[in-house]
Amino acid sequence: MVGIRLYNGKTRAKEDFIPLDPANVRVYVCGPTVYDRAHLGNARPVVVFDVLFRLLRHVYGPDHVTYVRNFTDVDDKIIARAAATGREIGAITQETIGWYHDDMDALGALRPTFEPRATEYIEAMIAMIAGLIGAGHAYVAEGHVLFEVHSYPDYGRLSGRSTDDMIAGARVEVAPYKRDPMDFVLWKPSEAGVPGWDSPWGRGRPGWHIECSAMSDALLGPQFDIHGGGVDLQFPHHENELAQSACAHPGAGFANVWMHNEMLQVEGRKMSKSLGNFFTVRDLLDRGVPGEVIRFVLLGTHYSKPMDWTERKTEDDEALLRRWLGAASTTAQATISAELVATLANDLNTSGAREIINRQFQTHDLAGLRGSLEFLGLMQDGRLPRWAENLWQAYDGLSIASLPQDRAAVPTIRLILERWHEYRLHKEFALADKLKAAALAAGLELRATKESSQADATRHPLDPVRLEALK
């Protein structure tokens, strides 16, 4: 079995991944608050942990991995959106979940095993809160229930923050009913016209952090293998999750491994509406950027590093991916190389995986190329995406004027054309003329225009044996 190594944010070290139960590897990733379209930054953890999901399924078997990603469908932002639009909260959340599915499906992300909605687990949250009160880790004050941070000595260890840093980072609410400014809300009262549920502490709704603790407990148990999400959630959300879950189930440990993807920038700056560089996944799709290209760009930077989205990078990656997909589409065979799996097993080294795929492309390993693209979710349903049809043969000043009937010959034609182009580019005209004559003898006509170097495989009968010998 392939050994997986992951960077564990809890221990701040790369470790061998040893699941609690190899027959049921369990992963929880914090999902979206469903009040609006997912922006590009929201897509990064989806793609990162989709690759992890695919890797775990490959190593342990598809039926032995449970992946949970939640929907927060009760939140002040949702309530504010309903008030501003006059729409029912349920209609807003249902519509937004549909948008989310459409957009993430377009990025080639597999659906998680479970996608729980917070409103489906209110009773579980109330039960967990009651247990925390009974154990002396939470208290009731003016209709609120608050977690008492100082009752958990390890608070702050996950994020590695001092008390002052935590207070600043959490933007804590100074409220008279709090025993300490760091204490956070588990339950809060709901006024008339706002969603609420009956509880021992009055009609109200849960705080944000208790949602994930209750849902992960219900679906994965008090201890599971991996908890993931964006680094922006490390504090306070994940710190608070860990504290309340550890106190609710002493000795269980909650998540063994914590993984956080870094933030995304746009053209070197933080994505922000005020800077005019904020856009959603749907904005990109509507602009004609294919979902596979968005995914490909996101995979170009290791998840633990800040990523910069640029127009130039997007254009370059689209041209490169078009070439890879086109070549892979000429074979029905797909093999997954051990090198690719080992590279991804090394803390999800997706940039290294891209290098392997490029080498497979350059060495004409079409079965390996196709297998790698399918494994990484870049060749959905095992076929050439519609956006790449009849386009991939034109790239970097080179073009195949018309495709031969035998598509299997196309990668060889591409290699010959590239070599001829390089000869001419470096003024090695004798070599260029020799290759042109040999190609013509094999049925391939090479010609140059002001715009490109071209290959035409339809004017003469192709001789596959002689053509292959020119590679």
The two three-digit tokens of residue 389, written as one number: 């049809």
The stretch 205-217 carries a mean pLDDT of 97
Q: Which of 261, 295, 315 is the last residue of a domain?
A: 261
Selected residue with higher pLDDT from 412 and 82? 82
Instruction: Write out the chain in H/E/C secondary structure.
Output: CCCCEEEECCCCEEEECCCCCCCCEEEEECCCECCCCCEHHHHHHHHHHHHHHHHHHHHHCHHHEEEEECEECCCHHHHHHHHHHCCCHHHHHHHHHHHHHHHHHHCCCCCCCECCEHHHHHHHHHHHHHHHHHCCCEEEECCEEEECHHHCCCCCCCCCCCHHHHHHHHCCCCCCCCCCCCCEEEEEECCCCCCCECCCCCCEEECHHHHHHHHHHHHHCCEEEEEEEEHHHHHHHHHHHHHHHHHHCCCCCEEEEEEEECCEEECCEECCHHHCCCCEHHHHHHCCCCHHHHHHHHCCCCCCCCEEECHHHHHHHHHHHHHHHHHHCCCCCCCCCHHHHHHHHECCCHHHHHHHHHHHHHCCCHHHHHHHHHHCCCCHHHCCCHHHCCCCCEECCEEEEECCCCHHHHHHHHHHHHHHHHHHHCCCHHHHHHHHHHHHHCCCEEEECCCCEEEECCCCCCCHHHHHHCC
Question: What angle, rounded to 10 degrees, do the helices at 40-60 and 338-345 form?
Answer: 120
Query: What's residue 108's pLDDT?
Result: 96
**pLDDT at position 102:** 98
Tokens of 296: 């490909």
Cα(256)–Cα(384) distance, rounded to whole angstroms? Answer: 39
Q: What CATH number has the domain bearing residue 86? A: 3.40.50.620
Q: Which residues contact 171 (CB under 8 A, 6 or more apart)?
A: none
Task: Give which of 50, 33, 59 is closest to 298, Cα–Cα.
Answer: 50
- 8 A C-beta contact, residue 60 and residue 25: yes
Q: Are 17 and 358 in contact (CB under 8 A)?
A: no
Least confident of 143-157, 224-238, 260-274, 286-300: 260-274
| pLDDT level of residue 319 (50, 70, 90 thresholds) | confident
Sign of CA dihedral 129, 131, 132, 134: positive
pLDDT of residue 364: 83
Tell whether the model's pLDDT for residue 144 goes beyond 80.
Answer: yes
Task: With a cut of 90, say whether residue 173 has pLDDT above it.
Answer: no
Does the residue 360 lie in any domain? no
Of 231, 261, 291, which marks where a domain is finished? 261
Q: Is the pLDDT of residue 455 over 90?
A: no
In a domain, residue 307? The reply is no
Q: How far apart are CA 223 and CA 217, in angstroms?
A: 8
The owner of tokens 């699941």 is 19
Most confident of 250-259, 355-364, 381-390: 250-259
Give the C-alpha distances (Å, rounded to integers) separating 256 from 55, 101, 172, 223, 247. Answer: 18, 29, 28, 7, 16
Instruction: Give the pLDDT confidence score for residue 407 in this predicted structure.
Output: 66
Contact 78, 93 (CB under 8 A): yes
Both structure tokens of 206: 């849960």
CA 410 to chain centre: 32
> Looking at the predicted structure, is the pLDDT value of residue 163 above 70?
no
* Total count of domains within the chain: 2
Say yes or no to pLDDT of 170 above 70.
Answer: no
The token pair that represents 50 in the structure block: 């989709």
The lowest-confidence range among 181-190, 199-208, 335-344, 421-430 is 421-430
pLDDT (average), residues 422-451: 90
C-alpha distances in Å from residue 418, one per residue of 41, 77, 328, 367, 434: 37, 54, 18, 21, 15
Mean pLDDT score, 202-229 = 97
- Amino acid identity for residue 226 in this structure: I
CA distance 464 to 471: 11
Give how far the C-alpha of residue 369 lies from the chain's centroid of Cα atoms, to the nearest Å: 21
Considering the domain boundaries, does residue 295 fall inside one? Answer: no
**The 65-69 sheet, strands edge to edge:** 65-69, 25-29, 223-230, 254-261
Q: Say what percent of the chain tops pLDDT 70.
A: 93
Of 278-292, 304-318, 324-338, minimum mean pLDDT range: 324-338
Beta bridge partners of 181: none
Evaluate whether residue 138 is within a structural domain: yes
Residues spanned by the domain of 223: 17-261
Q: Among the listed ranges 115-119, 262-266, 425-429, which one has the minimum average pLDDT value?
A: 425-429
Q: Is residue 124 part of a domain?
A: yes
pLDDT value at residue 202: 96
The pLDDT score that the predictor gives to residue 101 is 98
User: Is residue 391 predicted with pLDDT exceeding 50?
Assistant: no
Same-domain pairing of 110 and 250: yes
Q: Is residue 256 located within the same domain as residue 399?
A: no
End-to-end CA distance of the chain: 37
In whole angstroms, give the CA distance from residue 402 to residue 404: 7
The alpha carbon of residue 376 and the mean position of all alpha carbons in its chain are separated, in whole angstroms, by 11
Lowest-confidence segment of 36-50, 283-297, 325-339, 448-462 by average pLDDT: 448-462
Q: Are 139 and 148 in contact (CB under 8 A)?
A: yes
Domain termination site, one of 209, 228, 261: 261
Domain presence at residue 355: no
Res 232: pLDDT: 95
Average pLDDT over residues 146-160: 95
Question: pLDDT at residue 310 above 60?
Answer: yes
